Amino acid sequence: MNVSDSEMIKEILIENNDEVTENIDEADVLLFNTCSVRQHAEDRVLGRISNEASRKSKKRNLKIGVIGCMAQRLGDDLHKINKNIDFVIGVDQYKNLPKIIHKKRVKDFTETTVNNSEVYENIYPIHSGKFNAFVTIMRGCDNFCTYCIVPYTRGRERSRNSEEIIKEVELAASKGFKDVTLLGQNVNSYKYEDVDFAELLKQVNEIDSIKRLRFVTSHPKDLSDSVIKVMGESEKICEHLHLPMQSGNTDILKRMNRGYSYEHYRGIITKLRNKMPDIAITTDIIVGFPGETEEQFNDTYNAMKEIEFDYAFTFKYSPREGTIAAKYTDQIPEEIRLERLQKLIKLQEEITLKKYRSKIGTIQELYVEKVSKKSDKELAGRTRDFKITVFEGSQNLIGKFVKVKIVDAVGWTLKGKLIE
Ligand code: SAH
Ligand code: SF4
């Protein structure tokens, strides 16, 4: 979401005749787009701001701005945390950025007014990925999972006009993008007038030169049968779904306010696999949520064994000030959270390798993205189910679709042999 927001912000600035530079030495303004989802993300960006602030001694007019969820969450306090920060701009105020960065003096400036109807219409971002375009279809979140800061920083859920979304995808297609990812905190609850998410998927699927279509993030409580049906029927929708489970224990899920049981989650996986036998499923898991007992953790461990995700993003619970779970008195000690995390990572590594190995001997379509990092004779691309695959081939294949036969799986990379 932040990558996508940064692309949009670049477009806002460029329209105002500002220039974006990849060379930090040239910059007159540094913008830090920040994430608040875990404390670790906030600590890292504060460290980064401190490092870059030393540039002010060489360039007196250099301005430093903080944007994104941390700006929204901390507002004025950020000026106290680091005196080198000139301005703090919240997530609904990006249209004011050009005006603010051109102020003669912007010291200790903060603008974090909430605007729950801002969807940044009529801004068509310059997608920075070469082959995949991220298209935001909705902003905010109303789910209030008890651990999560997002509804507080990003505000109320609102969907963009579907015609605007289609226009943005068509524009990306006309610039040569063939792979599109629709973005939102909970894409399954997309609704604009009479267009719901299933209908939006159908409409994007119709756009001629788009060859691959993905979407994140899906919420298990809202992933409807009609979306599963469209996924099965639309040739462009890739056989890959990211479906955060968070926990394999229903009591913990209830305490997280997730709105589904483990059995419901398991049922969705069965439906998906029945419709799309080759579908890759990835997930997010939180360990050490307040009150999580050893048995409840084991339920998550066993659920991961049972379901066999292709990949899992596993996180230690991080208390976020202002959320309900941060107030629970039964917080889990750091050592136990870490121990549980390590157990899950180890288990998932084994499962991921098994999943990748099961692809050996199959024929896969790749969208070739680049020369491989390890060898310039090899190219790297992604399968429809999102697995990075390397194969020997000439560089003129970059940007093309090819067929390869999978011959090996090393770590999280498949090796293929070009056949077409
Ligand atoms: N809207 C998406 C993603 C939100 S944030 C969804 O509902 O899935 C991405 C992931 O960060 C979440 O899925 C969750 O696993 C993790 N996360 C969110 N808040 C967290 C916290 N306080 N501590 C640890 N992980 C957290
Ligand atoms: Fe956070 Fe839950 Fe909303 Fe995802 S659905 S952004 S985890 S509150």
pLDDT for the residue 253: 98
Whether the model clears a pTM of 0.85, i.e. scores above it, the answer is yes
Residue 228 CA, ligand 2 centroid: distance in Å: 21
CATH code for the domain of 374: 2.40.50.140
Q: Answer yes or no: is 222 within a domain.
A: yes
Ligand 1 centroid to residue 366 C-alpha, Å? 30
**DSSP β-ladder status, 401-410 and 363-371:** antiparallel
Number of residues that make up the chain? 420
Beta carbon of 219 within 6 Å of any ligand 2 atom: yes
With tokens 């629970």, the residue in question is: 328
Q: Is residue 194 part of a domain?
A: yes
Nearest Cα to Cα of residue 138 among 115, 172, 161, 168: 161
CATH number of the domain that 260 lies in?
3.80.30.20
Alpha-carbon distance of 365 to 252, in angstroms, equals 40
Query: What CA–CA distance (Å, rounded) separates 150 from 173?
Result: 31
Low-confidence ranges of the chain (pLDDT < 50): none
Is ligand 2 within 6 A of the CB of residue 144? yes
Domains of the chain: total: 3
The verdict on the CB of residue 210 being under 6 Å from ligand 2 is no
Q: Examine the fold and report which residue of 357, 385, 405 is the final residue of a domain before the chain moves on.
A: 357
Residues 101 and 199 in one domain: no
| Domain identity same for 159 and 89 | no
Range of the domain at 399: 363-418
Residues 258 and 329 in one domain: yes
Q: How far is CA 392 from the centre of its chain?
A: 30
Question: Over the stretch 109-131, which tens digit does the pLDDT of each residue have?
Answer: 999 999 999 999 999 998 888 88
- Tell whether ligand 2 has an atom less than 6 A from the beta carbon of residue 141: yes
**C-beta of 160 in contact with ligand 2 (< 6 A):** no
**392: nearest Cα among 420, 367, 417, 419:** 417
Closest ligand 1 atom to 313 CA: 15
Ligand 1, atom 2, residue with closest C-alpha: 185
Judge if the beta carbon of residue 151 lies within 6 A of ligand 2: yes
Identity of the residue numbered 36 = S
Which helix (DSSP H) or strand (DSSP E) does residue 186 occupy?
none
Q: Which residues contact 282 (CB under 8 A, 6 or more apart)?
A: 240, 241, 242, 243, 309, 310, 311, 312, 313, 386
Question: Which CATH number goes with the domain that contains 61?
Answer: 3.40.50.12160
CB atoms within 10 A of CB 332: 19
What per-residue confidence (pLDDT) applies to 99? 95
Give, for ligand 1, the residue of 70, 255, 315, 344 to mutate: max count of ligand atoms closer than 8 Å to Cβ. Answer: 315
